[in-house]
Amino acid sequence: MGGDAQGMVAMLGARIPVTDVIRTASSCKRLPSIPFFLSMESCPRRCVYCHQGEITGVSRTPSPRFVREALVLLREPREVCFFGGSFTCLHEERRKDYLDAVLTAPEGSLVRFSTHPQCITHAILDSLSPYPVSMIELGISSLDDGVLKICNRGYTSELALSAMASVLESGFQLGAQMMIGLPGQTEDSSVEDLRKIAALRGRRERSSVTLRIYPCLVLEKTPLAELMNRGAYSPLALEEGVRRAGRLLFEAERLGFPVQRIGLHETESLSRSVLAGPHHPALGEMARAVAFITWLLESSPYGPWEINRRQISLLRGHCKFGLRFMAERTGLPLSDIETRIRYAAL
């Protein structure tokens, strides 16, 4: 999956918030990001669920010149992000033009991009060495060969693991973009994927691999919509999507993976084109509640539970979603759950 980040909207005319303050894993400094969407640019093939134009609301690809002209106007360093396409699949010269444009940004700026595992070679990784690359994000989606085939990803899990290993061995930070609810994918296979990535990370720093977790949504004008209409694919219901994302987050945190994001950025274009699947602007927050409650119930199945006041919103937000989930998991009435919670001071 290439496209996640927010848009460079004023200039591109899209309707997405502009900045996203992130922690760069390599430098531990916080740099505001400036994302550019290269909508499905140079993707080796079309993945069945993808329609970047509908996800981001951005259909025009900014040229390297456009990027350069935007970056020379900056006064402070930024993390320049190329999302929504397969950056390392770009023709060598065009890729270099984009990267050279990044060098016109204020000193201290970094660059990150998302790309396809098929376009990771040692020669490509070597060509990145003159640039301040903060992270290479790989659309992994799944490490189950059957799922990859149905999704038309065009490679096997072996190739994806080898691409991830090459990124890490070349000393880059790796971002793995995973998905839930793909055709043919099970909840256990997603957890198994995480274990494989943890094994690959080995003894490296935990922060050397970060994750994004996206739900598989059925968008208009995609092959997945056709599969669904033929009855060959059943999308996850919202509740199931939240539960699976929460479980994956729980397992990811247990394995020590920083999780950068859960769920897609909401855009008008996205909400207009979603036909089915676990689509909710607060999917990430609800998944965090599920992961938190899983942890609470592991430490004490029926309470009492002591929680920090900062975590109240995980239980009470979205019409008491977390408390209702606890009631469902424990079989206790909601009123009873509330009496078993103690709130610790900040």
The pair of structure tokens assigned to 67 is 């990027």
Interaction between residue 291 and ligand SF4 (CB under 6 A): no
Judged by CB under 6 A, the number of residues near ligand SF4 is 13
CA–CA separation, 113 vs 137, rounded Å? 6
Interaction between residue 273 and ligand SF4 (CB under 6 A): no
Q: How far is the CB of 152 from ligand SF4 (least distance, A)?
A: 8
Q: How far is the CB of 310 from ligand SF4 (least distance, A)?
A: 35
Interaction between residue 50 and ligand SF4 (CB under 6 A): yes
Interface with ligand SF4 by CB under 6 A: which range of 1-9, 162-170, 236-244, 333-341?
A: 1-9
Residue 91's Cα: distance from chain center in Å? 25
Instruction: Give the residue among 271, 277, 192, 270 at the shortest CA–CA distance from 233.
Output: 277
In the set 35, 62, 139, 183, which binds ligand SF4 (CB under 6 A)?
Answer: 139
What letter does residue 143 receive in the DSSP assignment? S
24-46 in b/e burial notation, b at 16+ Cβ within 10 A?
bbbeeeebebbbbbbbbbbbeee
Residue 90: φ, ψ to 5°: -60, 155
For 44, 243, 244, 297, 317, the CA distances from 305, given in Å and listed in that order, are: 50, 21, 23, 9, 18
In the set 7, 35, 62, 85, which binds ligand SF4 (CB under 6 A)?
Answer: 85
CA–CA separation, 30 vs 24, rounded Å? 6
Residue ranges in 27-46 that form contacts with ligand SF4 under rule CB under 6 A: 40, 43, 46
CA–CA separation, 322 vs 243, rounded Å? 11
Q: How far is the CB of 198 from ligand SF4 (least distance, A)?
A: 23
Residue number with CB closer to ligand SF4 (212 or 288): 212
What letter does residue 288 receive in the DSSP assignment? H
Residue number with CB closer to ligand SF4 (109 or 177): 177
For 233, 279, 308, the CA distances from 345, given in Å and listed in that order, are: 48, 35, 6
Interaction between residue 180 and ligand SF4 (CB under 6 A): no
In the set 47, 182, 216, 264, which binds ligand SF4 (CB under 6 A)?
Answer: 47
In the set 3, 7, 117, 132, which binds ligand SF4 (CB under 6 A)?
Answer: 3
Interaction between residue 206 and ligand SF4 (CB under 6 A): no
Interaction between residue 2 and ligand SF4 (CB under 6 A): yes
Q: How far is the CB of 87 from ligand SF4 (least distance, A)?
A: 10
- The binding site for ligand SF4 (CB under 6 A) comprises 1-3, 40, 43, 46-47, 50, 52, 85-86, 116, 139
